[in-house]
Chain A
Amino acid sequence: MGRVAFVLIAGIAVGSALGLVLKRNPIHAALFLVVNLGSVAVLYLTLGAQFLAVAQVAVYAGAIMVLFLFAIFVLIPGKEETGPDPRRAYRIMALPVGALLLLLLGFVVAVGTRGGAPAPAAPDGVEAIARLLFTDYLLPFEVTSVLLLAAMVGVLLLARRRTD
């Protein structure tokens, strides 16, 4: 049952990722990415990471994708990919490179996960990650707030209109 569900969700994830790469229209690509992020959130749920699943939907599928859609609406891109590609020969190289990378990663996964002891009882749920975030990872957690503030100020600086 769990395996069938995994294969189903993984199929949705891979299909939407392919749609993201292959679709010409950036809005379609953004919506495919939302589907992909949602399916990965479901996979987080099956791994017992409830907090991350909710954060994935709220932060990625919510905030980040809205930002992407706003950027698409502002820029109205998609016209530059209609003409002939002057660097087509180089871009075709992406397929063997990607296949090789996939082969290597698959090899590592196959070798690295062979055998091994059965997993100990995972400390599932929100409590375990909350305890970690506010004890072991307290300093990075606070530094993250400074990072977000710096990003916000930087974005305001980059995106303002120059009036001088």
Chain B
Amino acid sequence: MSCCGTSPGYDEIDGVSRLVAAKLAAFLRTLREAGFAVGLQEGQDAAALMAAGYAEKPGLLRVALKHLFSARKSDWDRFDGLFDAFWLGKRVRSRSLALGSAKAANSPSLKSLQGGKSEAATGDAATDQIPSEGDDAPEGRAGEGRKEGASRADNLADVDFRRMADPEQIEQAHEVAARLARTMRTRLTRRDLARRRGYRLDLRRTIHGNISHGGVPITLVKRQRKEKPLRLVVLLDASGSMSMYTGVFLRFIHGVLDEFREAEAFLFHTRLAYVSDAMKEKDAGRALDRLSIMAQGAGGGTRIGESLQTFNRWHAARVLHSRSCVMIVSDGYETGDARLLGREMAALAKRCRRIVWLNPMMAWEGYTPSAAGIKAALPYIDLYAPANTLKSLTALEPYLAKL
């Protein structure tokens, strides 16, 4: 009978712990949905923590789990909200906020520019032209709208997207980007590889190989520098005046990020947004949907100078090193202060190896770099080239390979 006396108690404890385990599993699922990289091992450790007495004090548990589950600054900042939402029942607001930010995580500024529209538009991806009409109409200014006002009415921007949606064109764009990427994997590093015709002696392998000669190094093993890709940082102008080209370039950037081991991408119009993470989405279509949403909605001109200032101040130290090439894709129509642009270009030029400025408008007949922006920037640019067709993109290849 004694066994009957003990078994319900045992069941009870088991039931409680099962409940906690289920709740914990649900929390892990929530975290994964919000973009946390949480594996089985972390789950086990969390269970161990709860068993160790952390579960009794929510505040302590939150801090402990925060350290365990976060892997980067963005996780770190979001965790408290998610935890409170899940365990303390402050549910609706913070949770949807966290999920929303996971979707468009890298572009709070752009998101706020568009208001709630980005959320609504995420669902149906193909129709990104429709909300943009409403967005652009009040903001389109005289000087701005001149070049593409008509084209927008004809939905020319849409044609560009459509053209790139044609499988053959996609294939071509990807191929160009991939080939570009391959030829650019040519930077020297200090990491050595064993080579027969290297310039430095590999003592370890030499001695090992010459023991049978009584230690006299007869056959020498040498090492040579391994080649390493350069880092490419792309800053893409997504303002209204560029709208006809952003689609193509987004495609190009996606290819570059795919192929390069080290590449970063930023979008700017009136603000700068970091988009590498969004671009690293495996599925090109989905990545582009996310980005075209980020890219549009700001017809109000380009503040290249301010965007560069943001870049120099917050991102440059992290993404640039001495083997970086910065590629700016913009028409140079600066609506902000051109002198600021000049200053920031100077600062940027000091930090990286090369600055390439691609200007799709350059190939237009009768175009001269008269825009104040481009005039201020020209002295710091190493290569100023048109890039309005796939062909002119390909023409860049030999130059970039030489970097």
A binds B: no
